[in-house]
Amino acid sequence: MRNALATWKWSLAVVARSPAVVGALAVIAALWGYGVYQWLWLPESSLLLLILALFWAVVQIAVLVGVLAGAAASTSSAAAAATHLGLRSLLGFNRRHYARALGSVIFAGIFVLLLHGLFSLADERALEVASFLTFHSEKAVSPESVGRVFSVIEGLVWIVVWGFLLSLFLIVHAAGWREVRRRALRTLANCCWRASFFTSLLSLVIFGGLAWLFAAWPPKVAVGFWDYAQMLIRMGISLVLIIVGWLFWMLSLARLSSPPAETSPP
Give the chain as a DSSP string. Answer: -HHHHHHHHHHHHHHHT-HHHHHHHHHHHHHHHHHHHHHHT---SSHHHHHHHHHHHHHHHHHHHHHHHHHHHHHHHHTTT-SS--GGGGG---HHHHHHHHHHHHHHHHHHHHHHHHHHHHHHTHHHHHHHHHHHHSS---HHHHHHHHHHHHHHHHHHHHHHHHHHHHHHHHH-HHHHHHHHHHHHHHHHHSHHHHHHHHIIIIIIHHHHHHHH------TTHHHHHHHHHHHHHHHHHHHHHHHHHHHHHHHHTS-GGG-S--
Q: How far is CA 82 from CA 49, 153, 169, 248, 251, in A?
A: 47, 37, 20, 14, 11
Distance CA 13, CA 2 (A): 17
State the residue range of the domain holding 22.
Answer: 2-262
Query: How far from each other are the two terminal CA atoms of the chain, in whole angstroms?
Result: 18
Q: Do residues 173 and 73 lie in contact, with contact meaning Cβ atoms separated by under 8 Å? A: yes
User: Can you tell me the distance from the alpha carbon of 69 to that of 94, in angstroms, rounded to the nearest whole number?
Assistant: 9
Radius of gyration of the chain (CA): 21
pLDDT in the model for residue 44: 65
User: What's the domain count of the chain?
Assistant: 1
The whole-angstrom separation of Cα 221 and Cα 18 is: 33
Three-class HEC string of 190-201? HHHHCHHHHHHH
Beta-carbon contacts of residue 93 (< 8 Å; ≥ 6 apart) = 69, 70, 72, 73, 101, 173
Burial of 114 (0-12, 13-18, 19+ CB in 10 A): exposed
pLDDT of 264: 37
Q: Which amino acid is at 118?
A: L
pLDDT in tens, the chain (266 residues): 667 788 899 999 999 999 999 999 999 999 988 888 877 777 766 777 788 888 888 888 999 999 999 988 888 878 766 788 888 888 888 889 999 999 999 999 999 999 999 888 887 788 788 888 787 777 788 878 888 888 899 999 999 999 999 999 999 998 889 888 888 999 999 899 888 999 999 999 999 999 999 988 877 767 777 777 888 889 999 999 999 999 999 999 988 876 443 333 33
pLDDT at 114: 94
